[in-house]
Homo-oligomer: A and B are copies of this chain.
Amino acid sequence: MQAQKDAVQLLKNAGLRVTPQREAILQFLLDYDGHATVDDIYTSLQDRFPSMSVSTVYNTVKQLSQVGLVKEIGVGEGASRFDINVEPHHHLVCTRCGALFDFYLEEPIRLSVPPEAEGFEVEDYHVEVRGVCPRCKKQQVS
């Protein structure tokens, strides 16, 4: 009885037109275990959509973000990553290999806003924890 993660239905519910490319991109993200870049998506779908443009991937992930089906994560260097996990959560970033891991805060942050930002209206926040992932730690020389 649990909500089926059907790409077509999700698109329809979001009020987006269902195209083969959109369906494939959303399905890819639903199946993908991790935080895919546009290029990850693009290359993975080359076989099935040899003529799909990289613009289409950009357009699609942007719209999926706008309707809240995915979340864009821009950490450190390089390309944005797209996260099918849209719950509020945060990320560990490996400074060696760029790997990303989800994590959750045990309690929400409490911040002291400086006078010059008095009245700042908080929408949301994201914590980026940098460090060395277990895999890179193992391979370390030192």
Contacts and interface: CB of A to CB of B under 8 A. Distances in A.
Contacts of A121: 131-132, 137
A50 interface: no
A134 interface: yes
Secondary structure of the A side of the interface? strand
Interface of A: 74, 76-77, 90, 92, 94-95, 101-107, 109-114, 116-134, 137
* Assembly stoichiometry (copies): 2
Contacts of A130: 122-126
A77 B94 CA distance: 21
B129 A125 contact: yes
A74 B140 CA distance: 27
